[in-house]
Amino acid sequence: MYRTIITGTGAVIPPVVKTNRDFAAHDFYGEDSVKIDTPPEEVTEKFRQITGIEERRYADTEVNASDLGAEAAKIAITESGIDPETLDQIIVAHNFGNVTKHTIQTDILPALASRIKHDLGIHNPACVAYDILFGCPGWVQGVIQADAFFKAGIAKKILVVGTETLSRVLDVYDRDSMIFSDGAGATVVEYRESGALDSGILSYNMASHCVDEAYYLHMGKSNFPQSDPRVRYIKMKGRKVYEYAMKYVPLAMKTCLDNAGISISEVKKVFIHQANEKMDEGIIKALFKLYGLKEIPENIMPMSIHKLGNSSVATVPTLYDMVLKNRLSGHQLHPGDVILFASVGAGMNINSICYRI
């Protein structure tokens, strides 16, 4: 049987470390542009308790999202052992394109996928490069899309990249700005015989809720009362996002497992979007509760958010790369292991993949 198999992974963790202490000197304002009286030190400590984030990574000033993505892609291609000229597609997930430091415009002309193909030096015109916008679940959606192209007989090798420089669209006066970070993850996926272990994608599930939920994440003016209203920043209705994720993500993950005919007891790891530690822990508990289980296996959910923050489309592929290469203490993967990829984000969008190593 042929399945979609990940044959190479790569990740780029930017070098600039931004700790919570760096935000303790900020003045924070609410959505109503009224200054928050709570001392910044207390704001940042409460933030840590809720999200689990102690540090996050920012890209160097001269490095853009496409640069991070190209670097991660080179690692993944080398690991896969393929000739990059044989790639049929390059799918790049992001939210804001390239945002040159100290500017107020996002740049997606040309598409980041075109820039990455250029940086990789790929000449083959049959290698089609394009971007997708699907919020934080973008990389997972790219892998799902690759699987669909494979099954349609259109492609055999696809590079999927998730890359972001969220640090450049932040409102420093908004408490939510402390969540976001930069990074890139890439995977080469191929349509191959699954072998004796039945490796590859076993099933997936996806959903979009775009009525009341459509603008839970959006672009808006700074919370600072004297800010230029023409300049827009990433904004998030945190409580709404939390409630939405808790309600729908566990259901999506269960549907994915059920479609694969896989028991929850077979799942070794869950690679969930690194948005908020408490939220992710709640999602896992809710998933097991759907199966009537109260006990959750130890170490089933690797987390990188404590030191890397929320890099949107890059969180899942970078986390997977770290565990796959034994770079995250206490977590390993072995041939035949069943894992789940899952994500939730702007749109609002949800997706999940059941995959066997």
Each residue's pLDDT tens digit, 273-305 = 998 898 999 999 999 999 999 889 988 999 999
Q: Where are the domains of the chain?
A: 2-193, 200-356
Residue 230: pLDDT over 90? no
For residue 78, what pLDDT band results from cuts at 50, 70 and 90?
A: very high
Equal fold, 2-193 vs 200-356: yes
3-state secondary structure the chain: CEEEEEEEEEEECCCEEEEHHHHCCCCCECCCCCECCCCHHHHHHHHHHHHCCCEEEECCCCCCHHHHHHHHHHHHHHHHCCCHHHCCEEEEECCCCECCCCCCCCECCCCHHHHHHHHHCCCCCCCEEEEECCCCCHHHHHHHHHHHHHHCCCCCEEEEEEEEEHHHHCCCCCHHHHCECEEEEEEEEEEEECCCCCCEEEEEEEEECCCCCCCCEEEECCCCCCCCCCCCEEEECHHHHHHHHHHHHHHHHHHHHHHHCCCHHHEEEEEECCCCHHHHHHHHHHHHHHCCCCCCCCCCCCCCHHHHCECHHHHHHHHHHHHHCCCCCCCCCCCCCEEEEEEEECCCEEEEEEEEC
pLDDT for 182: 97
Pick 286 or 176 by higher pLDDT: 286
pLDDT of residue 232: 87
* CATH architecture for segment(s) 200-356: 3-Layer(aba) Sandwich (3.40)
In this model, does residue 103 exceed pLDDT 80?
no
Least confident of 5-9, 38-42, 179-183, 321-325: 38-42
Homologous superfamily (CATH) of 2-193 is Thiolase/Chalcone synthase (3.40.47.10)
The arithmetic mean of pLDDT across residues 8-22, rounded, is 93
Q: Which of the residue ranges 40-44, 236-240, 278-282, 295-299 would you say has the lowest mean pLDDT? A: 40-44
